[in-house]
């Protein structure tokens, strides 16, 4: 899937665009018990509530592919033999009306998901009449129908006691604590919407957190390896370079890798290519070769990337390098530099001591106070 296709589906989750008539789900308490089930009509209920429910489901499609949204891939064997994939297909085929299948999904979520609070599982089924797109942006003839469902898992937070003003008697009244539905923490969509058509070999998996992917849940629902969270990817990539390059991992090498990835991202933006941008170990090896890193060290980087990310892994650049930020840290000091000025930073060895050198290119302030440099020292 591409970000463009994701945005196309997100636009569906509005009362005037959607074919969603009912939202189903359940409430799961802190003891992992399904306390009650939900079945709410959007066409017959309160229009404000219906719009808010669609907004919650829409937020489970937030973010970008490869960052908040991870693409789940099923093998041919998964599609033909996996009971987990079969359950997803059953849910989709029934339009979420198969109570046994829904119950099986609720149990799987309750038994595998660890959250700090009770939560609500919301699901909606939709059929999208996919039409051709003309160059002027107008819709053409219908080409196919995309039948899919989405799931949003939303924590329920306890709101404190509050004073509320009521117009009826023009007085404040004390309202007791109550549960409030939060934005989705986790969500998924099945099947994937690839090339604007259905792909049962894929699903889309959303996590609000950048540091955890709730691996037990993904294993239970999809039966495939869980995606590595962005924060974990960045740490793993940094450690890979540092450990594999060892003494060759100099400031100049890091600056070069940082610049190269930033240039790739900018070029992709300018090209307006809808396909998600990825970086492989071959891209990283080419970067290192171009700046003169020893071939043996480069091989170590490739081997380490295969071990950590998987053979042939394609990584999202934003997940492995903060190309829009350049930060230098020591135990006692942290220095943040705008990426376009990182060349002002160098390292030096003077009299046997190691120094981080920053070329002064303009006025200097310390805590807002302008300071001067004593040229005699």
Domain boundary pick from 194, 209, 226: 226
* Rounded average pLDDT per 10-residue block, the chain, 377 residues: 92 86 93 92 83 93 91 94 96 96 97 92 94 69 89 86 72 69 94 94 94 91 88 91 91 90 90 88 91 91 91 88 87 89 92 91 86 77
Confirm whether 164 is domain-assigned: no
Confirm whether 165 is domain-assigned: no
Q: Does residue 205 sit in the same domain as residue 303?
A: no
Confirm whether 141 is domain-assigned: yes
- The structure tokens 């060759």 sit at 248
Domain around 339: 325-377
- The structure tokens 């989405």 sit at 150
Q: Does residue 333 sit in the same domain as residue 259?
A: no
Q: Does residue 141 sit in the same domain as residue 55?
A: yes
Domain boundary pick from 226, 248, 271: 226
Q: What is the distance, to the nearest Å, from the Cα of residue 370 to the centroid of all Cα atoms in its chain?
A: 42
Q: Does residue 316 sit in the same domain as residue 377?
A: no
Q: Does residue 217 sit in the same domain as residue 130?
A: yes
Q: Does residue 203 sit in the same domain as residue 272?
A: no
Domain boundary pick from 324, 339, 368: 324
Q: Are 17 and 11 in contact (CB under 8 A)?
A: yes
Predicted pLDDT of residue 211: 87
Confirm whether 167 is domain-assigned: no
Paired tokens of 362: 């303009």
Confirm whether 166 is domain-assigned: no
What's the total number of domains in the chain?
3
Confirm whether 91 is domain-assigned: yes
Q: Does residue 32 sit in the same domain as residue 138?
A: yes
Q: Does residue 55 sit in the same domain as residue 104?
A: yes
Predicted pLDDT of residue 310: 87
Q: What gap in Å lies between CA 132 and CA 155, rounded to an integer?
A: 38
Predicted pLDDT of residue 297: 92
Verdict on whether the full-model pTM lies above 0.85: no
Q: Does residue 197 sit in the same domain as residue 284?
A: no
Nearest CA-CA partner of 229 in 66, 65, 353: 66
Predicted pLDDT of residue 136: 61
φ and ψ at 307, to 5 degrees? -65, -40
Q: What gap in Å lies between CA 38 and CA 108, rounded to an integer?
A: 17
Q: Does residue 201 sit in the same domain as residue 221?
A: yes
Predicted pLDDT of residue 177: 60
Confirm whether 25 is domain-assigned: yes
Confirm whether 22 is domain-assigned: yes
Q: Does residue 19 sit in the same domain as residue 110?
A: yes
Predicted pLDDT of residue 157: 84
Residue 284, CB-side half-sphere exposure with 13 Å CA sphere = 29
Predicted pLDDT of residue 223: 93
Q: Does residue 138 sit in the same domain as residue 23?
A: yes
């Amino acid at each position: 899937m591409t970000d463009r296709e994701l945005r196309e589906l997100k636009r569906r989750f509005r009362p005037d665009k959607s074919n969603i008539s009912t939202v189903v789900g359940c409430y799961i308490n802190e003891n992992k018990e399904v306390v009650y089930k939900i079945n709410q009509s959007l066409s017959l209920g309160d229009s404000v509530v219906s719009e808010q429910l669609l907004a919650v489901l829409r937020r489970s499609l937030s973010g970008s592919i490869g960052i908040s949204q991870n693409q789940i891939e099923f093998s041919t064997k998964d599609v033909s033999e996996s009971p987990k994939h079969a359950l997803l297909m059953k849910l989709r085929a029934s339009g979420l009306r198969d109570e046994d299948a829904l119950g099986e999904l609720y149990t799987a979520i309750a038994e595998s998901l660890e959250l700090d609070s009770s939560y609500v599982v919301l699901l909606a089924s939709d059929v999208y009449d996919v039409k051709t797109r003309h160059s002027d942006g107008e819709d053409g003839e219908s080409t196919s129908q995309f039948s899919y469902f989405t799931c949003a898992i939303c924590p329920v937070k306890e709101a404190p006691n509050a004073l509320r003003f009521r117009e009826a008697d023009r007085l404040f009244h004390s309202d007791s604590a109550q549960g409030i539905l939060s934005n989705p923490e986790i969500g998924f969509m099945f099947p994937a919407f690839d090339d604007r058509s259905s792909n049962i070999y894929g699903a889309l998996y959303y996590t609000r957190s950048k540091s955890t992917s709730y691996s037990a849940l993904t294993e239970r629902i999809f039966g495939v390896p869980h995606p590595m969270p962005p924060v974990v990817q960045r740490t793993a990539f940094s450690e890979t370079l540092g450990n594999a390059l060892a003494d060759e991992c100099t400031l100049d090498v890091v600056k070069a890798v940082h610049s190269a990835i930033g240039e790739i991202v900018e070029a992709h933006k300018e090209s307006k290519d809808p396909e998600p941008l990825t970086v492989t170990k071959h891209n990283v090896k080419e970067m290192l070769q171009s700046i003169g890193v020893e071939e043996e060290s480069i091989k170590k980087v490739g081997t380490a990337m295969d071990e950590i990310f998987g053979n042939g892994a394609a990584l999202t650049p934003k997940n492995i390098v903060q190309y829009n930020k350049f930060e230098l840290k020591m135990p006692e000091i942290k220095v943040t530099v705008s990426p376009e000025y990182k060349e002002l930073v160098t390292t030096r060895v003077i009299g046997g001591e190691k120094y981080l050198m920053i070329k002064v290119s303009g006025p200097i302030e310390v805590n807002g106070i302008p300071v001067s440099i004593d040229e005699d020292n």
